Amino acid sequence: MVQVDVPAAFAIGTMFADAARRQLQTGLPEYKYSILLKNNIYQIFFFSWIPVYFLLNYFGWETTHMWWHADSVTAYPFFVPAFLVIFFAAVNAGFLVGHRLIAAGKPLANRVVYIGIFLYSAAWIFGQTPSTYKLGSYAQWQAGHAPWFYEDSTFLTMLIISLLIWGLGLAFFLLDIIREGKRLQA
């Protein structure tokens, strides 16, 4: 859901900074830009396409039926481009905030940021199940006839696949950055 995707992108940026704290504490710009590049590569190949896929195919679910009343994202021609600009601004802002906190010797504050965002995301999803668990159009949702997410096998398959790609990719990148930091320390 876009209400969760943008904050999650920011949080992941701060997680990249946290994983790279040994590299970033050196103050060398090559580490900062290397990790920033890895953050953007992760977002491009393992995350950003996921909300775009769901916006194009499950618009009502991706926007949680809240403010957008059309049946398709095509009714809002600037939605996807604006989303991508905002998404990548959040990605990079998250990393830069995390970098600042790490450089200032405040890794705990950085962790509070991303843990807080993930708690907000969980509260958003599980606190509004009448809308977050429903697919279909706004009209279907308003009429009370929107199908449950688990009733659409394509949606469920893509949700599982995308969460696996997102999570496994994130684990790979973060562990690689942590390993790099350990080699640096040795």
Q: What's the average model confidence in pLDDT over 82-97?
A: 97
Residues 122-153 have pLDDT tens digits of 999 999 898 889 998 888 888 989 999 999 99
Lowest mean pLDDT among 7-21, 56-70, 95-109, 134-148: 56-70
Q: What is the pTM of this model?
A: 0.93
Domain ranges of the chain: 2-185
134 phi and psi angles, rounded to 5 deg:
-110, 145
Q: What confidence category does residue 11 fall into, taking pLDDT thresholds of 50, 70 and 90?
A: very high
- Reference 88, options 132, 51, 34; nearest CA is 51
What gap in Å lies between CA 100 and CA 132, rounded to an integer? 34
Q: 10 Å Cβ neighbour count for 93?
A: 14
What gap in Å lies between CA 91 and CA 96, rounded to an integer? 9
Residue 86 has pLDDT above 80, yes or no: yes
What is the chain's alpha carbon radius of gyration, rounded to the nearest angstrom? 18
What gap in Å lies between CA 139 and CA 25, rounded to an integer? 52
69, 33 Cβ separation under 8 angstroms: no
127, 3 Cβ separation under 8 angstroms: no
